[in-house]
Chain A
Amino acid sequence: MSIQSQLDRLASALTCLRPQDPQSRSDLAETCRDVFQAVKGGPLADPLSQALEAAQRVALDIEQDPSGDLALIESVVEWALEAVAALEHGERVEPFGSPEKEAEEQVDSELLGMFLASALDSLSTIEEYLLALEEDPDQPECVTQVRGVVHSLKGECGVIPLPTAQALLHLSETALDQVLASGKGLPADVFFCLLDWMKAYIHELEQDPDCDPPEYTYLQENIAALAEGRELPHPKTCSKEEAAPPPSATASSSASSAINPSERVQFPEEVLSDPTLAEFLAEARGHLEDSEAALLEIESDPEDIEIIDRIFRAFHTIKGVAGFMNMEDMVKLAHASEALLDEFRKGNLICTTEHTSLIFAACDAMNSMLDYLCGEEPPLRLSIYELIEALELAAQGEESAALTAQPTPPKPHTPASPGTPDEGSTTLLGQYLLERNLITDEALQQALQVQRHLQKTGSSKRLGEILAEAELISIDSLKAALLGQRGASIAGAQTFPFAEAVIESGLLSETEVKQTLRSTESPKAQRKRKPHIEQTVKVATRRLDVLIDMVGELVIAQQMLTQDPELEEIRSQRLQRNLTQVGKITRDLQEAAMSLRMVTLRSTFQKMSRLVRDVSSKAGKLVAFTVTGEETELDRNVVEEISDPLVHLIRNAIDHGLETPEERVERNKDPKGNIALNAYHQGGSIVIEIRDDGNGMDRERILAKALERGLIDGNPDDMPDSEVYKLIFQPGFSTAEKVTDISGRGVGMDVVRRNIEAMRGRIDIESHPGEGSTFYLRLPLTLAIIDGMIVRVGSHRYVIPTLTIEQSFRPDENSTHRVLHDGEMVEVRGKLIPIHRLRDIFDLNEGLEEISEGILVLVEGAGERACVFVDEILGQQQVVIKNLGKALPPTQGISGGAILGDGRVALILDTDALLTSVAATPVP
């Protein structure tokens, strides 16, 4: 059989494969093996055999597990067929796998963005399961879950494509299967390591989508070993210290000497604006609180590995997130603490009070860094690094050295003046006692020897206890010293003297004071946190809507009650007062309910940043995009609706508004164009502003185009600019000479106008030739409530949305004109405006006939202005918009109903539809 037919055979085996059928799978594996053997012995062994061998391996995998990488075999076969054909024609053959490399370079940015966002979620899910597994390894369902997440992550990596990550994840999947099959515990370290690697890779990809994956051989080897059930070849690299990329012991030790004593911790700017910051803060605080509690437990039972594990995990998590957010100092500190804790975990060291104080100090330093993130004074960098060094020394088992000798550079503080601002650094008890001349150096050495001896025999005692037992120091001064030590290292100046006084007066024991100190400390810290971290509950929107509906009903019922005519006859002050009170509470309740639906514009604006990046590179323009007011809150529905119009406006701003960099330079502008997106409140509505500093709009060009398309007629010279600019919202209107894939068809602006108007918002344009244009989108805060003017025609009442009303006035007889028999016009500030009588539009058989007796309301709709003639204006109030029941078709000119104070329904006018319908059907 020729190679060609062999390959064909393989291809048909592939198409016939039924993945769920083991027989079918083993058939495939057999065919694969046969083909491989045949090719190996054949004339084309050299270029083909390697790829086919890979295919065969995968086929064998698939035989065991149907979820294997079938695509690989398919691509091998495809490639091999091509290669054979190419070789027949005497062409060169690219080795298999090279197209994959190419693919990695052309990562689709759109897909990648989505992948990155979801991948982090998947990773944290895996992390959660791993942590749960570490606590109780006997949970096979957890392993299955991890496997599921890893599998889907692998799938996503394959789509992007990120072959390296895909391969690693595939390998991990096999490893997890192996773990499940063997029934052994899961070596979580390996997978934590994988997680760290993935996170690092994702982080890099965010910066640069074309970056190469980080170093992964050790990881690959470890996972591969796991998959094959071998011993880990790099057990050491699995532990986080070495695997975690940035913090290295040597780097940080040398670092502290290079630090300026007054330098303070600084995190990158992006950190402070990161939307996940609040979440991180809440999480980190929680972890720290947890570890502090655990530390207190440890003091009473130093050998409880489980408690140490708890602290370890807390620090590990903080480290992970901090690393992700680029908070280098925090990562280093967490890493050093972790390293020390790991020594306890491994049993190399026993946790002593000195150690716990060190870790306490680390917690406090972390807290102070978190405070800094909340807007407080950043902690001193030096103090952090000193702490890191102390932690590292301790981890190297040199706790005695750290105790006796001063840990490297001399500390600037003395405990005698505890006010010096160096919280976060710590003083060891021995050192503290020495400094205060409470014990001699010899006594200390002696005590330390005792302690070390005790440690070797497996028990442990605190230095203070040893000293006291040996009567080297009085109990009182020891207590004071302990307190002083803690005061200096943790609580700071204020609490120290008082606590010392308490202890010295013998009112309380040292431990009691310690605990009190801790407890007084935490509420203080909590008070500080409150404004920054908000607890959240996820609620289904459906439930929210029910609540808001019910509140709406309550408002109506309350209004009906207070406006009840029978109540007005009762002259009771108490009743009035109570009714007012109910009214007030109802309004508050309504406001609170409405605020539940409010969400910030942040995510919408973030999408826009992304859009600017993509569009500007496509259009070949340089754009500096600034966003302000993204914390402005809007009704959820409005936020959802606003996205499309913004996309169109921003695309237009980039494509039409901004000039190319060359043109900009010619016009003495910065080659980089500016586009600013801004949101703010203005008079009960929200304004979103899109500003560019490009060309500005060309009045003449718009007018010429509009004349050409017959959108306007007559002399356009006296048309105000704002109206000229609004012509661009006409459907199909485009001044662009050529249609690009970004814009130019004239569809976008029409969509913008319609979407905005559907939300009862409006658009205004301001533009200056050569200086740029600004689009103002005015939107209601919510879709459920509008401000309305209640008008009456005969016995009917209607609500006209205030937003559409320009003015209302009582016409005088001389200013109204009758033209062409029935067209009525009124002169408003020198302009003739048509009058529409509501009683005629709605065929009502009541209402005033004489114009001068009623009121004209000047409204704007569908780009036109018109006066609506009504009998009188009853008042203005906020009304809840209700639809008129789905059983009925939409009524033209009516956008919905509102329930008024007397419980009856008034119809809300849709001025747009009203004016268009009037224009469409001329009055007979």
Chain B
Amino acid sequence: MNQELSQDLITADESQRALAGKYLSFMLQGEEYGVRILKVREIIALQAVTPLPRMPEYVRGVINLRGRIIPIADLRLKLGMQAPADSSHTCIIVLEVEGAAEGEVCLTGCVVDTVSEVLDIEAHQVEPPPRFGSSISNDYILGLGKIAEKQKVIALIDIDKVLSNDESIEQAREVSDESTESCA
């Protein structure tokens, strides 16, 4: 064990160590994913969402979170999966996402199939993202976490990138910018 650990310390490079920590894991279409627990504000039950017109499909709309209006994104649609009908397990993870401006934090809700557990992932359990052509862009994946005792692998996703690096949103933004300019 000791030997294994010391070897781990040697092989684990800087980026792997940086990824160690607590993750909230959740299910999307039978696959397990994880987000850093520090990003999670709270988990709420699915509630009535007010749809927004002229938005990409994965933007479900907005909800009232104790007096604040926050947008709700469907992570399954966002990551290119099929979204099943909402069930009693479907819930919203409210995340603190980096905003457009430096240091700005905005709340965004993400619809997921179920929330599973909080995992403590150590540096030696982290593997770099795979290099095969997956449907999910590698940019979104920070790495893979191997949980040996449970015999599973979870994908650690970079939620800031998932929710901000978005061509469709960028396009919508450009369109609206243009239109405000044309108004001017």
Contacts and interface: CB of A to CB of B under 8 A. Distances in A.
User: Do A and B make up one complex?
Assistant: yes
Contacts of A553: 66-67
Interface in A848-876: 862
Interface in B86-107: 97, 99-101, 104, 106-107
Contact of B54 (A549, A842, A920): A842
Given A844-B53, A904-B48, A916-B179, A889 B173 contact: yes
Interface in B104-131: 104, 106-108
Interface in A153-181: none
Interface stretch (A59-67, A95-103, A591-599, A905-913): A905-913
Contacts of A796: 50-51
B53 A920 contact: no
A891 interface: yes
A885 B71 contact: yes
A842 B71 contact: no
B177 to A, nearest CB: 9
Contacts of B99: 886-887
Contact of A883 (B50, B53, B69, B100): B69
A568 interface: no
Contacts of B59: 888
What is the predominant secondary structure among interface residues of chain B facing chain A?
Answer: mixed
Nearest to B68: A882
* Most chain A CB within a 10 A radius of its CB, from B48, B64, B100: B64
Contacts of B172: 889
Contact of A843 (B53, B61, B68, B101): B53
Nearest to B53: A842
A916 B53 CA distance: 16
B52 interface: yes
Given A905-B62, A905-B63, A905-B64, A891 B53 contact: yes
Contacts of A907: 50, 52
Contacts of B67: 549, 552-553, 556-557, 882, 899
A917 interface: yes
A882 B183 contact: no
B106 A886 contact: yes
A553 B68 CA distance: 8
Nearest to B105: A886
Interface in B133-184: 163-164, 169, 172-173, 175-176, 179-180, 182-184
Contacts of B97: 887
A842 B62 CA distance: 15
B13 to A, nearest CB: 32
A892 B179 contact: yes
A887 B64 contact: no
A891 B177 CA distance: 10
A869 to B, nearest CB: 15
Contacts of B184: 731, 754
Contact of B183 (A885, A890, A905, A913): A913
Contacts of A906: 50
A517 B12 CA distance: 86
Nearest to A838: B53
B62 A885 contact: yes
Contact of A894 (B52, B70, B175, B180): B52
Contacts of A466: none
Nearest to A553: B67
Contact of A891 (B54, B66, B70, B100): B54
Contacts, number: 101
Nearest to B97: A887
B91 to A, nearest CB: 18
A862 B183 CA distance: 9
A770 to B, nearest CB: 34
A132 interface: no
Indicate the size class of the contact surface on chain B.
35 or more
Contacts of B48: 904
Interface in A740-771: 754
A888 B107 CA distance: 11
A903 interface: yes
A917 B179 contact: yes
B40 to A, nearest CB: 15
Interface residues of A, number: 39
B64 A885 contact: no
A841 interface: yes
Contact of A904 (B54, B64, B182): B64
B35 to A, nearest CB: 15
Nearest to A731: B184
Given A884-B69, A885-B62, A888-B55, A897 B183 contact: no
A893 interface: yes
Contacts of B64: 556, 899, 903-905
Given A796-B51, A841-B53, A890 B108 contact: no
Contact of B163 (A887, A917, A920): A887
Given A891-B52, A897-B50, A905 B104 contact: no
Contacts of A841: 53
A887 B179 contact: no
A912 B184 CA distance: 12
Interface string A467-499: 000000000000000000000000000000000
Contacts of A905: 50, 61-64, 69
Contacts of B180: 913
Nearest to B168: A889
B137 to A, nearest CB: 19
Contact of A885 (B51, B108, B169, B175): B108
Most buried by A among B54, B66, B172, B173: B54
B54 A892 contact: yes
A748 to B, nearest CB: 14
Nearest to B163: A887
A272 to B, nearest CB: 45
Contacts of A893: 53-54
B48 to A, nearest CB: 6
Contacts of B62: 884-885, 897, 905
Q: Tell me which of A549, A899, A903, A906 has the highest count of chain B C-beta atoms within 10 A of its own C-beta.
A: A899
A887 B63 contact: no
A892 to B, nearest CB: 5
Most B C-beta atoms less than 10 A away, residue of A887, A903, A905 = A887
Nearest to B99: A886
Nearest to A903: B64
Interface in A635-693: none
A319 B116 CA distance: 76
Nearest to A555: B67
Interface centre among B51, B55, B169, B175, by most chain A C-beta atoms within 10 angstroms, is: B51
Contacts of B175: 892
Contact of B169 (A843, A883, A888, A894): A888
Contacts of A886: 99-101, 104, 106
A426 to B, nearest CB: 64
Given A886-B106, A887-B97, A905-B62, A894 B69 contact: no
A549 B101 CA distance: 22
Contact of A884 (B52, B54, B179): B52
B67 to A, nearest CB: 3
Contacts of B54: 842-843, 891-893
A887 B182 contact: no
A903 B47 CA distance: 11
A884 B107 CA distance: 10
Contacts of A882: 67-69
Contacts of B63: 905
Nearest to B184: A731
Given A892-B176, A904-B64, 6 more contacts: A796-B51, A885-B71, A887-B71, A887-B107, A889-B173, A903-B64
Interface of B: 48, 50-55, 59, 61-64, 66-71, 97, 99-101, 104, 106-108, 163-164, 169, 172-173, 175-176, 179-180, 182-184
For the complex of A and B, the 4 pairs showing the least CB-CB separation, nearest first, are: A553-B67, A842-B53, A889-B173, A905-B50
7 contacts: A843-B53, A883-B69, A884-B71, A885-B71, A885-B106, A899-B67, A905-B63
